[in-house]
């Protein structure tokens, strides 16, 4: 698969777009005509910039409103095409895309469309140029690739092929069956775009919400499987119109674009290895498979009085210091199977993190089957590593930089039940906690910026191999919060991430407090929340208004005992078709808070109660 990107995906001027695409490792770029019109240098200079960066201009696009125009307009259209051919010569590109006509003057006739495209292909052939015809999902009479293919077939000219664009294809039904009929050499170029499933006007959906494969919900892997089965071996090119991309640095967007194609390619070849002929398959450099099994520990950067506050909170939640690091000012607190590390070692990454963010989560360690493989997988996708410098025989825990400035550690499952703390930490003599509850990490929620939302989706999908749920809206008293969740197949890893465009909503208030994105809330699962909460200092619990409980009584037929316990202990309740969920929240420290949950055959997150929680937090 040769990787290209359309200039329209990236922010900046044409020079910056070419530089960003080349730096990310693309070997081709499509020049969107508008980017050329807005550039203050002639096409010859654009060609030189591309040559200097070792990137091919794979196409000029789009050529609009050409076919099926009334006779008196066709001479003008052909002249217009000749001028575009001149521009292509100067750019050093041989391919022009013609998108299906949207003009109100266009005539509804496939025969005429074929005839006009044949005429244009003859002109293109004289200059040894290639044409690709693309069905726009909002084309006036041609909106499906099936129709575009009929027209290209009828036009029957070697200098005319079809452009396949996954977005248009899925926006118009997404029947992939006809793809098998198209010979690979009649495909001029493949454009790839993902998108969230949205029930809205197709043009608006396309202009604002397209995203890279791996960031949306369209079956892009199935699409690429079918395309590769045609024998097509040309460029696969991103064509993404997206409001976030327009305002994000082009270099990081291009890098995500490259990751996205690497992910797509890997998914396609992994699931259908016979797509590649044996020599190509042997040469294909598969990344190691992801193997993230569980959360091993959560590390906090903290110091001074704010450390005291955090300590008081986690001790109130039943955490006890069980270990002390052998050489560093790092303490381990445990409760059930949850490990919280409090790091106040001077001159460490953690202390730098604390200076910027205050008390905060500075690292999350995941238990993985093979830590070195996860690091190699991160390298494959160009996620930056983090060099730890183990001292005095410490366990080397490889890591990378996570999405929000925190570190991500990969802790290899050790033999014979040994854990990370058996290597680097000394056990303290402590009494066993009474009563004991089975505790484990349920979910870890991050508050991030809108511009990080798609990158975060890709990070968890491509690198961790997690499933990404569709976005959900949560109502905050000061704005709307959009939430997605990354989960592992067995649900041991659940990572919601939230963003808001409203400066005063919970997510943004957290980001202001915390000086940037990061972990906002940590939910722990408790095996017996009703007993657990009875032994808890009630002052740490987020108070919930009585109106909530009146409504709960009206909505559900709960046993009196349970209803009164929920009310008394500020517990929240939700039901699904399969089970129920009881949970409560702590008051925050530096915007960060804990949630204790108990799931009973329940797979969600108590989203129905999120508004109650956020209103309660806004009152603090």
Tokens describing residue 72 = 């008196």
Nearest distance, CB of residue 38 and Mg ion, angstroms:
20
Nearest distance, CB of residue 329 and Mg ion, angstroms:
31
Backbone angles phi, psi at 131, to 5 degrees: -115, 145
Torsion on CA atoms 385, 391, 394, 396, rounded to nearest 10? 20
Residue that the structure tokens 């002109």 belong to: 123
Task: Output 176 or 388, the one with its CB closest to Mg ion.
Answer: 176
Q: Which of 19, 30, 67, 239 binds Mg ion (CB under 5 A)?
A: 239
The residues pairing with 500 across neighbouring beta strands, listed in sequence order, are: 481
Query: DSSP string spanning 356-414?
Result: HHSSEEEEEEEEES-HHHHHHHHHHTT--EE-----TT-----EEE-TTS-EEEEEEPP
Residue that the structure tokens 């005839």 belong to: 115
Number of Cβ within a 10 Å radius of residue 17: 26
Task: Output 331 or 524, the one with its CB closest to Mg ion.
Answer: 524
Looking only at residues 600 through 619 of this chain, which bind Mg ion when binding is defined by CB under 5 A?
605
Task: Output 371 or 444, the one with its CB closest to Mg ion.
Answer: 444
Nearest distance, CB of residue 579 and Mg ion, angstroms:
16
Nearest distance, CB of residue 97 and Mg ion, angstroms:
7
Query: DSSP string spanning 199-243?
Result: -S-HHHHHHHH-B-TTSSSS-HHHHHHHHHHTT--SEEEE---BH
Task: Output 340 or 411, the one with its CB closest to Mg ion.
Answer: 340
**Span of 8-16, 105-113, 542-550, 592-600 interacting with Mg ion by CB under 5 A:** 592-600
Nearest distance, CB of residue 445 and Mg ion, angstroms:
6
**Span of 171-179, 505-513, 573-581, 588-596 interacting with Mg ion by CB under 5 A:** 588-596
Task: Output 234 or 287, the one with its CB closest to Mg ion.
Answer: 234
**Span of 123-131, 163-171, 425-433, 463-471 interacting with Mg ion by CB under 5 A:** 163-171
Based on the shown chain and the rule CB under 5 A, indicate whether residue 33 belongs to the binding site for Mg ion: no
Task: Output 146 or 239, the one with its CB closest to Mg ion.
Answer: 239
**Span of 393-401, 461-469, 520-528, 568-576 interacting with Mg ion by CB under 5 A:** 520-528
Task: Output 256 or 574, the one with its CB closest to Mg ion.
Answer: 574
Nearest distance, CB of residue 322 and Mg ion, angstroms:
26
Helix crossing, 43-52 with 14-23: angle to 10°? Answer: 20
Q: Which of 50, 523, 596, 612 binds Mg ion (CB under 5 A)?
A: 523
Vertex 513: Cα angle to 508 and 518 (nearest 5) = 70
**Span of 208-216, 237-245, 253-261, 317-325 interacting with Mg ion by CB under 5 A:** 237-245
Inter-residue contact 532 to 523 (CB < 8 Å) = no
Task: Output 239 or 452, the one with its CB closest to Mg ion.
Answer: 239
**Span of 159-167, 361-369, 461-469, 552-560 interacting with Mg ion by CB under 5 A:** 159-167
CA distance 275 to 272: 6
Nearest distance, CB of residue 137 and Mg ion, angstroms:
9
Nearest distance, CB of residue 474 and Mg ion, angstroms:
10
The residues pairing with 459 across neighbouring beta strands, listed in sequence order, are: none
Size of the site for Mg ion (CB under 5 A): 6
Task: Output 354 or 510, the one with its CB closest to Mg ion.
Answer: 510
Task: Output 65 or 165, the one with its CB closest to Mg ion.
Answer: 165
**Span of 231-239, 423-431, 482-490, 567-575 interacting with Mg ion by CB under 5 A:** 231-239
CA distance 141 to 144: 9
Displacement of CA 135 from its chain's centroid (Å): 28
Nearest distance, CB of residue 203 and Mg ion, angstroms:
13
Closest of 231, 228, 233, 191 to residue 213, by C-alpha: 191
Q: Which of 35, 165, 256, 266 binds Mg ion (CB under 5 A)?
A: 165
Task: Output 369 or 607, the one with its CB closest to Mg ion.
Answer: 607
Inter-residue contact 43 to 91 (CB < 8 Å) = yes
Task: Output 33 or 165, the one with its CB closest to Mg ion.
Answer: 165
Looking only at residues 123 through 152 of this chain, which bind Mg ion when binding is defined by CB under 5 A?
none
DSSP-based three-state secondary structure for 100 = coil
Task: Output 189 or 411, the one with its CB closest to Mg ion.
Answer: 189
Nearest distance, CB of residue 317 and Mg ion, angstroms:
15
Nearest distance, CB of residue 195 and Mg ion, angstroms:
13
Looking only at residues 459 through 498 of this chain, which bind Mg ion when binding is defined by CB under 5 A?
none
Task: Output 32 or 464, the one with its CB closest to Mg ion.
Answer: 32
Nearest distance, CB of residue 583 and Mg ion, angstroms:
7
Nearest distance, CB of residue 99 and Mg ion, angstroms:
7
Nearest distance, CB of residue 369 and Mg ion, angstroms:
27
Name the strand (E) or helix (H) holding 444. Answer: strand 439-447
**Span of 227-235, 255-263, 331-339, 587-595 interacting with Mg ion by CB under 5 A:** 587-595
Closest of 401, 309, 378 to residue 587, by C-alpha: 309
Nearest distance, CB of residue 61 and Mg ion, angstroms:
7
CA distance 178 to 192: 17
Which residue has the CB atom at the shortest distance from Mg ion?
165
Beginning with the edge strand found earlier in the chain, give each strand of the sheet holding 399-401 in spatial order. Answer: 385-386, 399-401, 407-412, 360-368, 292-301, 338-343, 330-335, 320-325, 425-427
In sequence order, which residues have a C-beta less than 8 Å from that of residue 361 and are 6 or more positions away? 298, 299, 300, 301, 406, 444, 518, 519, 522, 592
CA distance 518 to 353: 11
Name the strand (E) or helix (H) holding 65. Answer: none
Binding mask 187-206 for Mg ion (x = CB under 5 A): ----x---------------
Task: Output 407 or 524, the one with its CB closest to Mg ion.
Answer: 524
Name the strand (E) or helix (H) holding 29. Answer: strand 28-32
CA distance 56 to 302: 50
Nearest distance, CB of residue 540 and Mg ion, angstroms:
17
CA distance 448 to 414: 33
Task: Output 254 or 523, the one with its CB closest to Mg ion.
Answer: 523
Inter-residue contact 411 to 402 (CB < 8 Å) = no
CA distance 122 to 130: 10
Inter-residue contact 27 to 2 (CB < 8 Å) = yes
Inter-residue contact 235 to 3 (CB < 8 Å) = yes
**Span of 234-242, 332-340, 364-372, 482-490 interacting with Mg ion by CB under 5 A:** 234-242
Q: Which residues of the chain form contacts with Mg ion (CB under 5 A)?
A: 165, 191, 239, 523, 595, 605
């Amino acid at each position: 698969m040769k990787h290209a990107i359309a200039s329209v995906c990236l922010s900046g001027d044409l020079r910056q777009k070419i530089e960003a695409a080349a730096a990310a490792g693309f070997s081709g770029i499509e020049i969107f005509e508008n980017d050329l019109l807005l550039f203050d240098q002639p096409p010859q200079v654009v060609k030189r910039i591309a040559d200097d960066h070792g990137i091919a201009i794979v196409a000029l696009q789009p050529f609009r409103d050409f076919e099926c125009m009334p006779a008196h307009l066709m001479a003008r259209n052909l002249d217009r095409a000749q001028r575009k051919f001149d521009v292509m010569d100067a750019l050093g590109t041989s391919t022009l895309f013609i998108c299906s006509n949207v003009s109100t003057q266009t005539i509804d006739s496939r025969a005429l469309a074929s005839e006009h495209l044949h005429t244009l292909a003859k002109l293109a052939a004289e200059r040894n140029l290639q044409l690709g015809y693309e069905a726009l999902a909002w084309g006036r009479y041609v909106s499906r690739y099936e129709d575009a293919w009929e027209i290209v077939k009828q036009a029957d000219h070697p200098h005319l092929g079809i452009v396949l664009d996954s977005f248009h294809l899925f926006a118009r039904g997404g029947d992939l069956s006809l793809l098998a009929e198209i010979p690979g050499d009649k495909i001029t170029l493949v454009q790839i775009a993902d998108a969230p499933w949205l029930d809205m006007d197709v043009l608006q959906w396309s202009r604002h919400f397209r995203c890279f494969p791996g960031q949306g919900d369209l079956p892009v892997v199935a699409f690429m499987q079918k395309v590769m089965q045609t024998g097509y071996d040309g460029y696969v090119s991103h064509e993404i119109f997206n409001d976030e991309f327009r305002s994000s640095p082009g270099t990081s967007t291009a890098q995500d674009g490259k990751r996205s194609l690497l992910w797509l390619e890997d998914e396609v070849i992994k699931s259908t290895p016979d797509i590649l002929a044996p020599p190509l398959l042997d040469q294909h450099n598969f990344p190691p498979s992801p193997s993230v099994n569980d959360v091993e520990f959560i590390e906090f950067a903290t110091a001074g009085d704010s450390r005291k506050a955090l300590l008081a909170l986690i001790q109130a939640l039943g955490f006890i210091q069980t270990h002390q690091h052998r050489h560093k000012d790092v303490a381990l607190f445990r409760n059930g199977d949850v490990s919280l590390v409090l790091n106040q070692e001077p001159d460490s990454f953690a202390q730098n993190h604390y200076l910027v963010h205050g008390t905060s989560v500075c690292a999350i360690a995941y238990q993985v089957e093979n830590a070195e493989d996860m690091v190699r997988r991160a390298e494959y996708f160009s996620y930056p590593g983090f060099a730890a410098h183990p001292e005095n025989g410490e366990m080397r825990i490889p890591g990378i930089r996570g999405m929000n400035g925190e570190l991500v550690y990969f802790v290899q499952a050790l033999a014979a039940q040994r854990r990370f703390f058996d290597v680097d930490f000394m056990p303290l003599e402590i009494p066993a906690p009474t009563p004991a509850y089975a505790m484990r990490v349920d979910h870890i929620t991050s508050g991030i910026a809108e511009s990080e939302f798609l990158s975060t989706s890709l990070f968890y999908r491509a690198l961790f191999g997690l499933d990404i749920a569709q976005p959900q809206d949560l109502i905050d008293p000061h704005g709307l919060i959009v939430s997605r969740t990354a989960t592992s197949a067995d649900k041991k890893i659940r990572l919601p991430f939230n963003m808001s465009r409203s400066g005063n909503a919970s997510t943004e208030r957290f980001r202001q407090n915390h000086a940037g994105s990061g972990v906002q809330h940590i939910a722990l699962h408790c095996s017996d929340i009703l007993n657990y909460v009875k032994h808890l200092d009630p002052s740490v619990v987020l108070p919930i208004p009585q109106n909530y409980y009146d409504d709960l009584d009206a909505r559900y037929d709960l046993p009196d005992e349970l209803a009164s316990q929920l009310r008394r202990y500020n517990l929240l309740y939700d039901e699904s078709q399969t089970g129920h969920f009881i949970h409560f929240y702590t008051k925050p420290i530096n915007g960060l808070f804990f949630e204790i949950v108990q799931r009973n055959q329940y797979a969600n997150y108590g989203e129905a109660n999120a508004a109650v929680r956020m209103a309660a937090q806004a009152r603090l």
